[in-house]
Structure 1
Amino acid sequence: MSLTLMTYNIRSGGGDRLEAIGRVVAGPEPDVVALQELRGEPPLGALTGMRQFTARSRRGQPVGLLVSRRLRVLGAGRIARPFHHAAAWVRVATDLGPLTIVSAHLFPYWGRVRQVEAGWLAGFVTGDAVLLGDLNTLDPWGEHSVSLATLSMPYRRRHLNGRRPDTRATALLARRGLVDLYRRCGRGQAWTVPTTRGGGAEFTEMRLDYAWATPGVAGRFSECFVVTGGEAESASDHYPLVARAA
């Protein structure tokens, strides 16, 4: 059997978009969903029929994970570091063997803080593991200067390291040996923000949402794609990202 993972920033708790978000989540029939911006701890578990695990944040918004009832949960918790938002993890028994899956949402405003938070994640995501989430960081392989130039300076500054595009957090993950699954087996549209009708004036077309895996796990993934169209265009300002393993 295959394993389907999803990451989705639902934008400030979802509000009156929750039912639409639930339908977008259900579409690819994911086994585990990493969620960000769970303001008010919306009951997406009840809406989707999945088990919900939430990590609260003292300064930002909670993050969490939804887990299919077909998978046995071996453990769950939060990463005990002072993330601005939070980082949640579950360990599940899958057809690939036991797998740790992390949901994270990195600091939105300063690249240096994101780099520190990415280091905490890299120290935790070892063995058989996948890191999912909104990393608020451009990838270290693309050319981003032209697209960033379309943003007003207050928003552009979030993604600059001096005058250069800031890729420190994702570059750190790559140096630590994690594999960017979209880069490995992605197809179709790469950018995950903004959606066409969900807001996101602070974005240009950017890839901010990622699925990373440790090397021993990454080779099992054969497909990674952004969910677009239908209610995904208005349910949030982010598109969901899906990764599938056989």
Structure 2
Amino acid sequence: MTWNILVGGQDRLDAIASVIRREQPDVLALQELKGWSARRARDFAGQVGMHAHLAPSVFGQPVAVLSRRAPARTRSITWRLHHAAAVATVGGLTVVSTHLNPFDPERRRREATWLSACFFRTRQKVLIAGDLNSLDPGTDHSEAVKRIAPRYQRRHLRPDGSVDTRAIQAMAAAGFVDVGRGIGPTVPTEGLRQDEFGDFRLDYLMASPPLAKLARYVSVRRDEVTDMASDHYPVVASFG
């Protein structure tokens, strides 16, 4: 499961925790953990029966990986990214929870290219999960981009005015598979709509080929609780 919980969850944390308990993910990638320390992440993880590894951010907001089993290895990437990346290896799976640059398409492309080069493994199960802030190359987004406020449109446009999808293209070119293709928008939620979002899919699960072959289903959890818990909907996948 991956979820951007909006500036640390604030007064929505009980609702967020209730969704996590309901879904019972084995591994959970969280983004936008403003104000969270490693201790706060551990406390929250304890409330939902999980272990936590939090990666702080120099310029943006922390991210984390939570898991049912204690991870065998963890790593935090706090440079070269606007936000951060938290990496945890649980069993035979390496999960990278990340949040790419929301403002600059070229910097976002560079972040995606670098992360892909760091973590792609032909024969290993790797998942890059999170708010990648990118539109996918398999969808016509031109009308959706036109409908958002002009000051936000440049986040999704190339210098020539065409829609920018290069972050996802970079990951696909490196070998990662977009296992959530076709699931529909993950922003905005019904209760916390913002004028910076069109009906976009910004939250992704990018899997290495051995993991992608095991994908059973991917879905966006839209209901009356997740409508109000964040401005992003959680994305849940099953592998096996």
Q: Which of 77, 82, 85 matches 1:84?
A: 82
1:201 CA drift (Å) = 2.4
Q: Deviations over 1:115-171 (max 9, x none)?
A: 110012101222220110000000011100011110111111111112111101011
* Map 1:4-15 → 2, pairs under 5 A: 6-15=1-10
* Map 1:202-213 → 2, pairs under 5 A: 202-213=196-207
Aligned match of 1:115: 109
* Map 1:50-61 → 2, pairs under 5 A: 50-61=50-61
Aligned match of 2:138: 141
Mapped to 1, the partners of 2:151 and 2:54 lie a distance apart of 31
Asked if 1:191 is matched to 2:185, the reply is: yes
Asked if 1:23 is matched to 2:18, the reply is: yes
Mapped to 1, the partners of 2:47 and 2:232 lie a distance apart of 20
* Map 1:175-190 → 2, pairs under 5 A: 175-183=173-181, 189-190=183-184
Q: Which of 225, 228, 233 matches 2:227?
A: 233
Q: Deviations over 1:12-63 (max 9, x none)?
A: 0010000101111222210010000011115421321211110000110000
Mapped to 2, the partners of 1:227 and 1:91 lie a distance apart of 25
SS at match of 2:167: helix
Structure 2 counterpart of 1:234, which letter? M
Q: Does the aligned pair in 1 maintain the 2:113–2:170 contact within 8 Å? A: yes
Identity of aligned residues (%): 41
Asked if 1:153 is matched to 2:147, the reply is: no
Asked if 1:64 is matched to 2:102, the reply is: no
TM-score, with normalisation over the residues of structure 1?
A: 0.90
Mapped to 2, the partners of 1:199 and 1:51 lie a distance apart of 31
Aligned match of 1:3: none
Mean Cα displacement is larger for which, 20-29 or 128-137? 20-29
Which structure 2 segments of 5+ residues have no match?
none
Question: In proportion to residue count, which structure has more strand?
Answer: 1
What is the CA RMSD across the aligned residues, in angstroms? Answer: 1.3
Aligned match of 1:130: 127
1:80 CA drift (Å) = 5.8
Alignment length (residue pairs): 231
Mapped to 2, the partners of 1:165 and 1:190 lie a distance apart of 18
Which structure 1 segments of 5+ residues have no match?
1-5
Structure 1 counterpart of 2:208, which letter? T
